A and B are shown apart, each in its own frame.
Chain A
Amino acid sequence: MPCGADMGGTVSGDTVTAVAEAEPARRRIESRLTAGDRVYRTLATAGAGATLVLIVLIGLFLLIKAMPALREAGWSFITTKEWSPDAEKPRFGVAAMMFGTLISATVAMAVTFPVSVSTAVFINEYAPRRLRRPLTSLIDLMAAIPSLIFAMWGLFVLVPFLLPLEQWAVDRFGWLPFMKAAAIGASLSNAGLVVSLMTIPIATSIIREVLSQVPRHECEGALALGATRWGMIRTVVLPFGRGGIIGGTMLGLGRALGETLAATLVLSLTFEIKPRVLENGGITVASALAVQFKDAQKMGLSALMAAGLALFVVTFAINLLAAFVVSRSRSGAGVDA
């Protein structure tokens, strides 16, 4: 919160005299900034402004470049699955890729959330004290590993390893509509799993950091009542960290939505909407952009820009929603007696 500079609230003279004549005239409080303050305020404002300007510029760039394609496709851009913008009769839309993006991100988050929270809780509350620092460093290090490494490991190790399990799941639960699969492997859920490899470290790192800030005297309050360690975590640690848990997960989600390599390498790319999440094939916005760019002609390029714009808007909206949720759920967490 900015403090000091703008605290001098102005009181209009009219309202003061209107209230009561007997009251003394209220003074207008002025606070003059020192030269140093003014310099730092300018620097901070410039930094914040540059970030905002950058985001707006990127959005504008995408919008301008996407305009021809959006004019051509109209609202069908949202509902069309196919992607043949450079054909004689162009037909293209983000329906399939947006669907794939959301599904793989959902799968990634379904894995990331529980794994990250429990890893963070383990490191902070259960791990032997001498292992805490090394484990923390390890997680932070993993967050810095290039996603290509995770994608390759996922492609050559994790996905083949999970095939028997997926087959079993399809055999067993195939009667559920979304669990059916003609052929497994290279599916949206595989892509989501590989994405979760990349989102788990970053989410864990943030959540662990937030949970480590829990006031120890509140933890002791729970323990002194006869709570088990888990009881203390449930009543004190997790409620305190709620905002950070959501924030960390959302940062992971941001990465999952934009993740390119995992889907490009793992998925067998098809422009289809596949509600059967275990079935072979699918596409995400980012992977479509990556593979289509090279061969794109004039309209194709514009269409890709439009797809990028769609991803930009969706990511932005989700993060905005997350910020809203976090700001609402923080009540109480920061109360310090």
Chain B
Amino acid sequence: MNNTDPASTRPLPPGPPLPPEQPGTAHTATGQPGPAAPGGGTLTATQVSAWFGSNKVLEGVDLDMDAGQVTALIGPSGCGKSTFLRILNRMHELVPTASLAGSVLLDGEDIYGRTLRVTQVRRHIGMVFQKPNPFPAMSIADNVAAGLKLTGTKAANRSELIEESLRRAGLWNEVKGRLRDAAGGLSGGQQQRLCIARSLTVRPDVLLMDEPCSALDPTSTRRIEETIDELRGQVTIVIVTHNMQQAQRVSQRCAFFLAAENEPGRIVESGPTTTIFESPKDSRTSDYVHGRFG
């Protein structure tokens, strides 16, 4: 049976000795950005609409997600923000009845166009899910390196890449001694940061996060927010969150989605996070960010 799953059984190659860790350096100077992703990519969504079967869930969404910035998508449940997020890396089409209109450009190139393969799109635009989803049969190190294997990327310095990704995700100090242990043994927050590390290994230009902290305790949430903060400037981040404080803490720009009853979701207002929270133009935005509904 081993031949069906070489990844989980193959021992790690003995990597070069890792530099000694100084306490407290985990998320300061060590998380250097990779040379391939200096600043991330710009995502531009134009007139995006989406359907599940005949049910229209999203209408005419225009949004620019600037390179290296954190854009938060906020709004009550069922307003289409997760659907929008999944459109940004072509996960939307995995639902059999799903369809869409409009376009999404990554640095000017249409991700739904003919020039890009869907696997390339997802390699450049990574995703972290609501529920941590490490590959349970793989070791921690194999999880981090899974993207390399899955995209057929040859990496001579595999163990260095693993360390770098884990450092960038703020997990290195906690797992460096047990890289070969199964990923299933980590706590929920660690698993989520492992998933972030896994996404970073393939050096994406954009990282999408779908309520990454909703299943986590406050301490883990804070760790992840720190991680997002450290990634800013290196990777473009788009994060869906229900937590208003979180949106304020981590994002530079914010888009407020809302769906009226029996209508598709639309963007009510978008702009700099401070504007959205302190001086929104629309009264519905003001009501929502101040917790008066949703």
**A complexed with B:** yes
Query: B8 touches which one: A221, A227, A239, A325 (CB < 8 A)?
Result: A239
* B122 lies within 8 A of A223 (CB): yes
Binding site for B on A (CB under 8 A): 117, 129, 215, 217-218, 220-228, 231-232, 234-236, 238-240, 242, 245-246, 325, 329, 331-333, 335-337
* A224 lies within 8 A of B1 (CB): no
* B184 lies within 8 A of A225 (CB): no
Binding site for A on B (CB under 8 A): 1, 4-5, 7-8, 89, 91, 94, 96, 119-124, 126-127, 129, 131-138, 146-147, 149-151, 182, 184, 188, 191, 195, 198-199, 202
* B126 lies within 8 A of A337 (CB): no
- Known contacts A225-B126, A226-B147, A337-B188; A218 and B7 CB within 8 A of each other: no
* B147 lies within 8 A of A225 (CB): yes
CA distance A332 to B150 in the complex (A): 20
CA distance A117 to B121 in the complex (A): 30
- Known contacts A238-B5, A337-B184; A332 and B136 CB within 8 A of each other: yes
* B135 lies within 8 A of A222 (CB): yes
Pick 9 A–B contacts, CB within 8 A, sort by A: A221-B129, A224-B129, A225-B199, A226-B121, A226-B147, A227-B119, A235-B146, A240-B137, A332-B138
* B127 lies within 8 A of A222 (CB): no
Residues of B within 8 A of A242 (CB): 1, 4-5, 137
Query: B1 touches which one: A232, A236, A240, A245 (CB < 8 A)?
Result: A245
CA distance A234 to B136 in the complex (A): 13
Top 7 A-B pairs, shortest CB-CB distance = A226-B123, A335-B184, A227-B150, A335-B136, A332-B137, A224-B127, A221-B133
Shortest B91–chain A CB gap in Å is 6
- Known contacts A220-B91, A235-B146, A331-B182; A226 and B151 CB within 8 A of each other: yes
Query: B4 touches which one: A129, A221, A239, A333 (CB < 8 A)?
Result: A239
* B188 lies within 8 A of A226 (CB): no
* Nearest-neighbor residue (CB-CB) of B4 within chain A: A238
* B137 lies within 8 A of A333 (CB): yes
CA distance A221 to B184 in the complex (A): 15
* Nearest-neighbor residue (CB-CB) of A228 within chain B: B119
* B135 lies within 8 A of A235 (CB): yes
Query: B182 touches which one: A224, A246, A332 (CB < 8 A)?
Result: A332
- Other A-B contacts than A224-B199, A226-B147, A337-B134, 6 sampled, CB-CB below 8 A, are A217-B133, A220-B91, A228-B150, A231-B151, A236-B135, A331-B182
